[in-house]
């Protein structure tokens, strides 16, 4: 490799971004050789030292961590020194383990996800007879999965028991009174049928809350 040699290439990130490992396969017959790698014009590696490998075909791998944003990157190799060989440059993801976040609040779950080196994914909501309102019902990927750093984690957040309008863990007359106060109005917390709401509180919503109330006395909650 000649001194001050610059080579460019296009690197398109796939499903992951964030913390990566850059590996370079190199050889040299003397110490003191260095290079660095730019992404979109920014030196992301600092100077990387090529050790004396004792021969031009005696290869070794040097590696450094890099952090990239998602999207297409222009990768440029820049040599600071002459007289060393470069076989290839490779980027691999830093793998992390997805934490367990089911059963805890959305805020706590998102904090745990960020602390693990992951990112917040899609958030959806669903009613649940067993998971308290505001807590995580399920996650994707599941806990314990090994994924690239920066991967998103999707969450389903509980809306609580369907018809439990005052969120006290049971459907009773208090919830009926709340729904009556919102009769033919909307949108409101009493608009529970369909699950995503239809913009008005009417007989459909009362039918759902009545069914939920009946199940209370059957011991289903």
CATH number for the domain spanning 136: value is: 3.30.10.20
Total domains in the chain come to 3
pTM score of the predicted model:
0.60
Joined tokens for residue 101: 């976040």
The reply to whether 78 and 16 lie within a common domain is yes
Model pLDDT, residue 185: 64
Residue in the structure block whose two tokens are 């992390």: 96
Model pLDDT, residue 73: 82
Model pLDDT, residue 16: 46
How far is the CA of 70 from the CAs of 37, 189, 218, in angstroms?
17, 38, 52
The reply to whether 86 and 141 lie within a common domain is no
The reply to whether 146 and 102 lie within a common domain is yes
**Which sign does the torsion angle of CA 69, 150, 9, 27 carry?**
positive
Buried b / exposed e along 61-91 (16+ C-beta atoms within 10 A): eeebebebeeeebebbbbbbbeebbbeebeb
Residue by residue, pLDDT tens for the chain (221 residues) are: 555 555 555 555 444 467 788 999 999 999 999 999 998 889 999 999 999 999 999 999 999 999 888 778 888 899 998 889 999 999 888 889 999 999 999 999 999 999 998 999 999 988 887 888 899 999 999 999 998 888 899 999 998 777 767 777 777 777 777 777 776 666 667 777 777 676 777 777 778 777 776 555 444 44
Residue 202, domain extent:
163-221
The verdict on residue 119 lying in a domain is: yes
The verdict on residue 138 lying in a domain is: yes
Model pLDDT, residue 14: 47
Angle at which helix 203-216 crosses helix 173-181, to 10 degrees, equals 170
Joined tokens for residue 80: 């600071």
Model pLDDT, residue 129: 78
The verdict on residue 1 lying in a domain is: no
How far is the CA of 221 from the CAs of 38, 162, 169, in angstroms?
59, 11, 9
The reply to whether 34 and 86 lie within a common domain is yes
The reply to whether 70 and 16 lie within a common domain is yes
Model pLDDT, residue 210: 76
């Amino acid at each position: 490799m000649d001194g001050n040699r610059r080579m460019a290439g296009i690197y398109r990130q796939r499903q992951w971004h964030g913390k990566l490992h850059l590996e370079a396969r190199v050889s040299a017959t003397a110490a003191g050789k260095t290079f660095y790698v730019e992404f979109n014009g920014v030196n992301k590696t600092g100077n990387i030292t090529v050790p004396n490998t004792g021969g031009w075909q005696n290869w070794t791998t040097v590696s450094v961590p890099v952090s990239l944003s998602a999207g297409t990157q222009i990768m440029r190799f820049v040599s600071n020194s002459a007289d060393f060989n470069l076989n290839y440059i490779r980027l691999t993801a830093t793998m992390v383990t997805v934490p367990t976040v089911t059963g805890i609040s959305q805020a706590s779950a998102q904090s745990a996800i960020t602390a693990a080196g992951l990112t917040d994914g899609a958030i959806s909501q669903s009613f649940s007879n067993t998971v308290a309102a505001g807590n995580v019902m399920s996650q994707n990927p599941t806990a314990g999965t090994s994924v690239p750093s920066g991967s998103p984690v999707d969450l389903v957040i509980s809306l609580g028991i369907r018809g439990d309008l005052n969120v006290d863990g049971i459907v009773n007359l208090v919830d009926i009174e709340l729904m009556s106060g919102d009769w033919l109005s909307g949108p409101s917390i009493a608009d529970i049928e369909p699950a995503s709401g239809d913009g008005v509180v009417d007989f459909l919503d009362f039918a759902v809350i009545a069914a939920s109330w009946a199940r209370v006395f059957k011991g289903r909650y």
